[in-house]
Amino acid sequence: MVINRGERAAGAVINVILCIVGIVSLFPLLFVVSMSLTPYGEVIKNGGFLIFPKSITFEAYKYLFQTKEVPQAMLVSLFTATVGTAINLLITMLGAYPLSRKSLRGRTFILLIIVFTMLFSGGLIPTYLLVKSLGMLNSIWALVIPSAVATYNLLIMKTFFEGLPEELFESARIDGAGDLGILFRIVVPLSVPSLMTIGLFYAVSNWNSFFPAVLYITDANLNPLQIVVRKLLLLSNSVDNATENIVPTPTLQMASVITASLPILVVYPFIQKYFTKGVLIGAIKG
């Protein structure tokens, strides 16, 4: 394939534009990281704006992890991001597989009901009363169970399952496999890109869970990390002198943002290839 000068020039322009977009996208993150690692006196000398610090301090991170609140909140968020995501994927698979089979009786009606929930929810007060009646108030399960299935993710997975060759299901049934056997022995191994994509969606949502904790949790020991980060971000410069003498509030705020964002940033590169493939497959099939 011969590439002419015009195509090369267009490719160069696109690369430049993408580089600029990448730099603009990374700039806020670099600023937050720099602020969290820079001594506050140096930040003040530079007018409150600094990207490349001359000296580095980890006092803000030491202070965060020396408190009881932040490590406890991280454990809660870790539980919701791992156990919650596992529950999300299991229930989503168990719902998507039968809906992907055209032989399911009442399939169209069930899909209409599911899609209806994307347009109209039960409402905030009825949902709260339901969680209360189930005895999940001030329970860590209140952060997981009410959001166990996302309709959008269910439909993506259903679409992916529909794209699998029907011959695989027929041959498995001839060999005597049941529906659960087909799901876990054939469908799941072939659906790794889709599962990784939807698992990432669920994991990010669970890790960033905030509103359910505001609604259902009053016990400070069950607060997820996002609640603690919000408290730190709302700190004013007039907080008590003991805190100010240890770590300035702006530095503490930036360190809390990095602490809350870092786990997802670390995990994402390892599943990026699955994420891209899963999104494309789910978008072009069905």
User: Of the candidates 177, 148, 164, 180, which has an alpha carbon nearest to the alpha carbon of residue 102?
Assistant: 164
CB-count exposure of residue 145 (10 Å: 0-12, 13-18, 19+)? middle
Provide the CB-side half-sphere exposure for 276 (13 A, CA).
Answer: 5
* Domain segments of the chain as ranges: 1-57, 58-284
Packed helices 69-100 and 151-162: angle between N→C axes, nearest 10 degrees: 40
- Residue whose entry in the numeric block shows the structure tokens 């390892």: 270
Q: What is the pLDDT along the chain (286 residues), one digit of tens a residue?
A: 556 777 778 888 898 998 999 888 888 888 888 877 777 677 677 666 667 777 777 888 888 888 788 888 889 999 999 999 999 999 999 999 999 888 888 888 999 999 898 888 778 888 889 899 998 889 999 999 988 898 988 998 898 888 888 888 888 888 888 888 888 888 888 888 888 888 888 988 898 888 888 889 888 888 898 888 887 777 644 444 444 445 667 777 788 888 888 887 787 777 666 666 555 554 444 4
The model's pTM is 0.78
- Can you list the alpha helix ranges (DSSP code H) found in the chain? 5-37, 40-45, 59-66, 69-100, 107-119, 124-133, 151-162, 166-174, 179-182, 188-190, 192-207, 211-216, 225-233, 241-246, 249-284
* Fold (CATH) for 58-284: MetI-like fold (1.10.3720)
- Separation between Cα atoms, residue 228 and residue 177, nearest integer Å: 49
Nearest C-alpha neighbor of 76 from the set 266, 227, 201: 227
Centroid of chain to Cα 105: 34
Of 251, 269, 282, 279, the residue nearest 58 (C-alpha): 251
Place of tokens 């996208």: 25
